[in-house]
Amino acid sequence: MKILSVRIDDDLDQKLNFLMEKLKKRDKSSYIRQLLEKSLTEEMLEVLCKQVGEKNISTWKAAEIAGVSLRKMMEELKKRNVPGYDEQAIKEDIKYALE
């Protein structure tokens, strides 16, 4: 495991302490790792959905990179109003699946 030091301002510390108290969290480091994981996953899905929308990668490839199922990736695309499959995307996904 890598070590990362981060400085936070008083406002952020107050928010963190508030959440920890309300959620009955005791280990600050563990909780921050959970929050970071959640945030990074969401950011990764956002970037990948944009890439799919710009037709830089297929939905199948985006799902693989994100480590989610194709169905989950398609749900994320729908949630973000990214246009669905077109014929080219289907061909790319089939080709990728057969490799």
H or E element, residue 20: helix 10-22
All structural domains of the chain with their residue ranges: 10-98
pLDDT band at 1 (very low <50, low <70, confident <90, very high): confident
CB neighbours of residue 48 within 10 Å: 24
Question: Sign of dihedral through CA atoms 2, 7, 10, 15?
Answer: negative
Is 76 within 8 Å of 45 (Cβ atoms)? yes
Give the end-to-end CA distance of the chain in Å, rounded to a whole number: 34
CB neighbours of residue 14 within 10 Å: 11
pLDDT tens digits along 25-79 = 999 999 999 999 999 999 999 999 999 999 899 888 999 999 999 889 989 998 9
pLDDT tens digits along 75-91 = 999 899 997 666 677 77
